[in-house]
Structure 1
């Protein structure tokens, strides 16, 4: 093992070094290579060097030290001498971890994420919890949802602190509170099903308890109080009590009261900017480049930082315009990009890379000093969080460099994770399939809808017919098998995705084969598909277990029940399909009504577009009937 003699004032760094010792794989010894650790006197001067005898690391902050140490070790492994410079492009750069879409990252899972963040030099983690944190005054708040206890949040914050990472609570204080407001205790503080009732004393008692509970375990005096997409604001109970009032006035009155609470507790607050930015758009579009926010609106906005969330555009100019218009609101502007862990059941690296490059280039140009990448988990948190690693490395590297070379990123990623970036990027091929544009910029999600769609109803069958997706996933499964044998933190991730590719190699075109065989009265082909479906039932259960394994590796168990139900439904429908086709072949049925239907291409304008096969929520993929409703 490499021996290093670290020289310098290490008092602030020792605890973090101990936490990351298994990551860096070196032994501290006075007989080792001298490595001098120096605090830089220049704000953004970061450098590493080795002259063949002695090494130097010149850093500015804890987090930059851990990044530079990682880079020093990487450079030492490949070069006899070296000298590398980087710079702090931002004061804060990090990630937002979504713990509100069923997948609540466990404490051990969070420590794993923090380890990777530290090696990359990220210094901010936003913990997005709508109702998944403990509020002792409201026992039903986050009930059976895997909510974090005060002690768990403190443990994560302590760990992050030693790595130079600020952990910031990211909560909701207006909308996005459906799960929190669905219980009886919320009567009297609820406007609509997911928006609190503005103006009520009980509402602000509730919110103050939330704010205190969310912030008390953390060192940071910052808090993200949400307030995005509260489209039902003032339209429910509020309207019956107060009549019709314009949403800007209601929003402002509410924000003033919440900011008064945060100031009372010594907190600096930020909000998602969309509700205010939309006031300047004639169509209410958040990304309206013609938006003109009235001066009177700007002057009346309470004292709060504005977070622009945009992970949709690939052109720098769009970000320039949006950031410029945000700066006109006379507040500190923070930029939130994204690593697309919410595309479906697999990550979308093409979209992530293109939006990250454009967004961060614009942020630098426009003097934005705080940025973070969101890791949303829309529709059940199906995509494992550590699938984000390629996107996180690019985001981090662009936070310290003007640009990132492809070869450089490949080599450093291999060193950081033990995996070839090219191999890791195979996960992108689950959705960037034949029929999809390069980089999947319009966010096709074939792997999700092909996994969950019904074998007899086949809502997407006409959309994917003729594309050869079965062969595509068969080839993908062969390539992914090479990654399964490794034994490390990411092994469960690749075991899951390999099994998914195996299932999709058969299931992707199952409905098409069934329909063709039925329409041509090919009994032999139907018999063959019955055997395929029986085997698929077993494969789907193997996939369920592999998915469960990776879930439990990184997340709390709560929320997994939703995916168990989805897998159970898929396996059960396969059983029904076997029985119905078998009964038809045995003469018990004169026809199979589901297969007799003329199948149409999937139609949903919100989820379709050029260069995409479509995407959607689970409920839209499995049935055209009501899944659950009155």
Structure 2
């Protein structure tokens, strides 16, 4: 007997309420009524998809459905128009926008909340109907059917009546590709398609300096910046999938990637700042030049101006003005200028709300039609600021986080608590929607591929608030993403989720022997847990490879996380062994076997690091442009250098390993009651009997936020950078120079001028000069308490020719 499936749209929508059951569908439909029996695909030779004139033959929803039918059942699909009887069909798939078609359609009552994105999915033993009032609702109905087909058991899907619509209008994901990983075009499309299939309708690319600009072509150079044509292509693709692209382009803070470039430092609040000078007309002109290129590039009627974490405002050029008028007024005035600029393009303005929460009087100084993106990433059950913004007359979009930043793998438990709870609170407060945040702090070492489960969490709790429990969503995700629901996937996730509780990239990439306050017992427990978890994970991954049907490549990313876990566990144990030996001065009591074992363990760590680096590079390049990769790979190589130095020491039967810089951070005498640090002028004289035979002369300086260094009155270099979340900028906080040509026989003098701007952080510098001689001798000149320091100087101070200056011994600053 021939079965017929009819897919209808363009009708009116209904309002029955039922209990949703587990269909392995993400997000959970609002209402699911189960019926006896099922619809079977087994034995069908082909599926004919019948469209009316209002639906294009290349509709993406239809294409995705056809792909799912082919992949799941091996059934060919054909697309024809209503009334075309030229070929017999095993199944009719009718998508119609009116009642005037050959197939009688049942009446559906559409409720108001279903108008824009709602749909009905009606499956009986002999037919399937999708009904919606517009293409977006139809698309989401097709996505639900697609997911049901992918999870079909024995070629059958259950008979159901689904009535579905979103709890929240905005269901978004923001993606940071300004600090490290920049997706390839294929990867951008892969992510957008995943979002669309899970009914996420907004993709928010976070941009700082990764757009190619005609007026300022050096911005984004070598950073993987997207061309305008690429951005248009991404938008066109997303539009076909009913996803709008809403950019975040920073307009005040987090401008450091640009402001640390030589051509643009003049627009900063102070040299090295991450925030623009918001009262400088030239800064405004520069910002508006950027906006004039970026705003019209995006089709969305919304534009996100960023404006978060602008902590530098008022610490430099605007310090006096802030003291006079208050920091709130300075911020509000800048927001208004940017608002006016964006509105001139007919766009609606969005901005982050964290600075407003710190200075709530801003709420009364900015336009009420600004949409506040209220971000909070803590896994808690109370987010009072949503009500604060709503009560002040603003529309709010809540913004939880996937907890991926700096983690070897996202903390999915914390993410689910944060995402589900803030979305529920936002829903109760009638928030416009939710944007699920991902970040790539310090070079973005955390792979974007790990985020998909977090995307699914956001999809679930923004479409059907509060949604199902996290464990249920995990199982559905496995079913949809991997094509199976093997219990070992749940076990793997449980073990992987322990990694962010035990370590992270910040610890992985720091000096491995640096002392901490953690007890030996806790270190050893963490070490064992990391190794044991990692080994269990690798075993589970091996078992799952032949079982998983789709996205098998994803296991490579899990495997990397497991191997990183094992490496960190072994590193913790090794560094503890070495530190204990050094602390107890046990070298004389160690046998040759003891030394050999230490050497073997150190060599194993080096080899593992080398393997991890190569795996990391390969995984990065699968989905990302090569730009910015070298900065993260360098972190691996620095780790290898630490252990190679350690191994050399062990070969000499010694554990005298340099753990910290021997040079000190030094400053001049500061006024503790001043919010503005005084400048520090620092100098040190040293003698060289001869220049002949000096093989190398290397000088390193670390400073905040603005510093210049000279030798014998000859300029060596300058640093203008402040601590930030950008690895690009962090690398600029350290300067390294070859200064052989600056040295003189006899008396030499190193001079440093440094100016800090952060309150309660003095103007400090750390200097290390190493002279290597051909005969093997080494001379080191380094910053310490023997240096001279002053807050004011007279002419000639860089050559030691000033007289009557107030010079004191430099102060060592230990808290930097």
Pick the aligned partner of 2:173 from 95, 105, 110.
95
Whether the 8 Å contact between 2:248 and 2:303 is mirrored in structure 1 is yes
Q: Deviations over 1:218-247 (max 9, x none)?
A: 211211001111111122123368874311
Question: So what's the TM-score if we normalise by structure 2?
Answer: 0.65
Q: What residue number does 1:527 align with?
A: 596
Equivalences for 1:26-175 in 2 at 5 Å?
26=70, 27-29=76-78, 31-37=89-95, 41-42=110-111, 43-44=113-114, 45-59=118-132, 62=135, 64-76=137-149, 77-78=152-153, 79-175=157-253
Instruction: Note the 1:175-574 alignment, pairs <5 A.
Output: 175-192=253-270, 193-239=273-319, 244-280=324-360, 293=361, 297-302=362-367, 303-315=369-381, 318-319=382-383, 321-402=384-465, 403-405=467-469, 408-418=472-482, 420=485, 423=489, 426=492, 429-430=495-496, 432=498, 444=501, 446-449=503-506, 451-457=508-514, 459=516, 462=520, 463-467=522-526, 468-469=528-529, 470-483=531-544, 488-516=552-580, 519=584, 521-523=589-591, 524-574=593-643
Per the alignment, do residues 417 and 627 of structure 1 end up closer, same or farther by CA in structure 2, a change over 3 Å counting? farther
What SS class does the counterpart of residue 137 from structure 1 fall into?
Answer: coil
Give the drift of 1:558: 1.2
Q: How many angstroms apart in 1 are the aligned matches of 2:568 and 2:67?
A: 35
Query: For residues 386 and 331 of structure 2, what CA distance do their matches in structure 1 show?
Result: 22
* Shift >6 Å, 4+ stretches: 240-243, 616-619, 625-629
Q: Is the 8 A contact 1:125 1:165 kept in 2?
A: yes
Residues 178, 422 of structure 1: alpha-carbon distance in 2 compared, 3 angstrom cutoff? farther
Superposed CA offset, 1:508-546 (max 9, x none): 422123345664544333321311221222221111111
Q: Which secondary structure state, in structure 2, belongs to the residue aligned with residue 223 of structure 1? A: strand
Does 2:68 correspond to 1:24?
yes
Determine which structure has the larger strand proportion and give its number.
Answer: 2
Q: Which residue matches 2:3?
A: none
Higher radius of gyration, 1 or 2: 2
SS at match of 1:579: helix
Distance 2:312 2:449 in 1: 34
Post-superposition CA distance 1:557-599 (Å, at most 9, x none): 1111111100111112111111111111xxxx4x535599xxx
Per-residue deviation, 1:271: 0.7
**What is the aligned partner in structure 2 of residue 612 from structure 1?**
none
Cα 1:243–1:395 shift into 2, 3 Å:
closer
Q: Is the 8 A contact 2:412 2:497 kept in 1?
A: no
2:651 corresponds in structure 1 to 582
Structure 2: which 5+ residue stretches go unaligned? 1-40, 71-75, 79-87, 98-107, 661-723, 728-732, 737-764, 767-816
C-alpha displacement at 1:373, in angstroms? 0.2
2:48 alignment partner in structure 1:
5
The 2-side partners of 1:617 and 1:99 are apart by: 13
User: Whole-Å Cα distance in 2 between the matches of residues 62 and 117 of structure 1?
Assistant: 17
Asked whether the 8 Å contact 1:450–1:508 carries over to 2, the reply is no
Cα distance in 2 for partners of 1:7, 1:454 equals 64
Are 1:335 and 1:370, in contact at CA under 8 Å, matched by a contact in 2?
A: yes
Aligned residues: 575
Residues 1:14 and 2:58 aligned together: yes
Contact 1:397 1:404 in 2 (8 A): yes
**Pairwise CA distance, 1:365:** 1.1
Cα separation, partners in 2 of 1:569 and 1:406, compared to 1, 3 Å: closer
Q: 1:410 & 1:228 partners in 2: Cα distance?
A: 32
Provide the secondary structure at the position in 2 that maps to 1:216. Answer: helix
Report the more deviating stretch, 184-193 or 304-313: 184-193
SS at match of 2:594: helix
Q: Compared with structure 1, are the counterparts of its residues 556 and 65 closer, same or farther at alpha carbon in structure 2 (3 Å cutoff)?
A: farther
What do residues 274-317 of structure 1 show as CA deviations (whole Å, max 9, x unaligned)?
A: 2222123xxxxxxxxxxxx5xxx4332134221111121421xx
Is residue 339–residue 391 contact of structure 1 (8 Å, CA) maintained in 2? yes
1:555 Cα offset (Å): 1.6
More RCO (CA 8 Å, sep 6+): 1
Of the structure 1 ranges 203-212 and 170-179, higher mean CA displacement relative to structure 2 is found in 203-212
- TM-score, scaled to structure 1: 0.83
Return the offset for 1:393. 1.1
For residue 399 of structure 1, give the secondary structure of its aligned residue in structure 2. Answer: helix
From the superposition, tell whether residues 110 and 8 of structure 1 become closer, same or farther in structure 2 (CA, over 3 Å). same
8 Å CA contact 2:406–2:506 kept in 1: the answer is: no
**Is 1:61–1:164's contact at 8 Å kept on the other side of the alignment?**
no
C-alpha distance 140-53 of structure 1, shift in aligned 2 (>3 A): same
Cα RMSD of the aligned pairs, angstroms, is 3.2
Shift of 1:504: 3.3
Alignment CA distance shift 1:364-1:120 (3 Å): same
Tell me if the contact between 1:48 and 1:85 (Cα under 8 Å) persists in the aligned partners. yes
Note if contact 2:171-2:463 (Cα within 8 Å) is conserved in structure 1: no
Rounded to whole Å, the distance in 2 between the matches of 1:411 and 1:273 is 35
